[in-house]
Amino acid sequence: MRKVDWWRHYLHSLIRLNDGPWRWRVGLQAGLANGIPLTVFTAMGHQSDGLIAMLGAFTALYFGRFSLTDRLRVLPLIASGFTIAAVIGAYTSANAWLTIVGLVFVALVAAGLSFSFSVGPPGPMMFVLVAGVAGRLTAPPDLGGAGVNQLRVGMLIAIGAFSAFLIVVAPLVIPAVRRREGPSAPPGVRLSFAPFDDVSKIIMSRVVLAVTLSSLISIPLGMSHAYWVIMTAGVLLQTGHTLDVPTIRAIQRVVGTLLGGVIFSLLSRLHPSGFEIVVIVALGQCLTEVVIVRNYGLGLLFITPLALTIATANRTAHPLAVSEDRILDTLLGAAIALTVLYGTEWLRSRLWQRVEA
């Protein structure tokens, strides 16, 4: 590919729509899975607890390609996984080096299981994100954490995870829906184990290496949102084993985060609170899932203001400072991901040349 074509290819990726449907069903489920529990917590006067519980609501994002009857069987596994990841993150948060070990362990197990059982998007890094945020919430204040009780965080995330599961499968109480969805396939059919092939080994090794490096760089430096650096680095590398797709995703993520930060700055001028935050969160999550498969950068336009709204809700941090931190975290995470991607590819090519020689 000539140099001019190379740049045109990557620039065009920012506006190109991938083949596939707009995922309205998955988006609606994700919006409700976030919005309903957060509404309940907000009505009870505990919105901050509801925002923690939302971490477990990522459960609703998995197995969107399955029928509801199949998701009835497999989503509890995802909900349990998020609960376990939260507990690991919470109970390794008292020490920076122990936190790194915990995050790498979660990445290793989540990636291994995801690739072995072909779990699919959004992939293993959501479990690392939950562990990282849980650790940030429960770490003592002298380590930059919020000092929230570990058991409380674990329970709230479990509530969010299993309430998301119940919300997704709730339509099955209607007989007509059960007939339309059909009988459930045995779990062994839907989640059959497959040994790692060469591609899975490459992707998994890069993800674990990126999580390790970003943890070693960001956590000892005391970066306030180190989990986002770690998440960004890992999530870009879980998308494929070639150079092209992760590079495109890195460009889309950086540009999408920058533009999403602009949208957040406009929203923050409205000073949303209470049920206004509920609407922003639910609508943002819904729209993210509708568009993100068609264009990753477009999804970041919605997920970035959503995440920043959560990060500043019920807190004294200035919105502009939080937005700047998110952009810097994204840039660092993307830089680490690309370093691992091109570094390991260069190493593989050198080793292959030696074998051929």
The winner for highest mean pLDDT among 34-43, 117-126, 130-139, 182-191 is 34-43
- Reported confidence tier of residue 36, pLDDT bands at 50, 70, 90: very high
Per-residue pLDDT reduced to its tens digit, 151-181: 999 999 999 999 999 999 999 999 999 889 8
- Reported confidence tier of residue 340, pLDDT bands at 50, 70, 90: very high
pLDDT greater than 70 at residue 2: no
183 or 28, greater pLDDT: 28
Per-residue model confidence (pLDDT) at position 193: 73
Average pLDDT over residues 238-261: 89
Per-residue model confidence (pLDDT) at position 143: 75
Long-range CB pairs of 341-344, under 8 A, 24+ apart, other chains included: 341/206, 341/236, 341/237, 341/243, 341/246, 341/247, 342/243, 344/202, 344/205, 344/206, 344/209
Tally of residues, the chain: 357
- Reported confidence tier of residue 223, pLDDT bands at 50, 70, 90: low
Residue 94 contacts residue 140 (beta carbons within 8 Å): yes
Three-state SS annotation for 251-299: HHHHHHHHHHHHHHHHHHCCCCCCHHHHHHHHHHHHHHHHHCCCCHHHH
Nearest to 72 by CA among 192, 193, 182, 194: 182
Which residue type sits at 36?
I
Within 10 angstroms of residue 343's Cβ, the number of other Cβ atoms is 12
Per-residue pLDDT reduced to its tens digit, 47-81: 999 999 999 999 999 998 888 999 999 999 999 99
Per-residue model confidence (pLDDT) at position 251: 92
CA dist list (Å): 102 to 5, 96, 132, 211, 353: 43, 10, 9, 11, 37
Percent of the residues in the chain that have a pLDDT greater than 90, as a whole number: 46
pTM of the entire predicted model: 0.90
pLDDT greater than 70 at residue 315: no
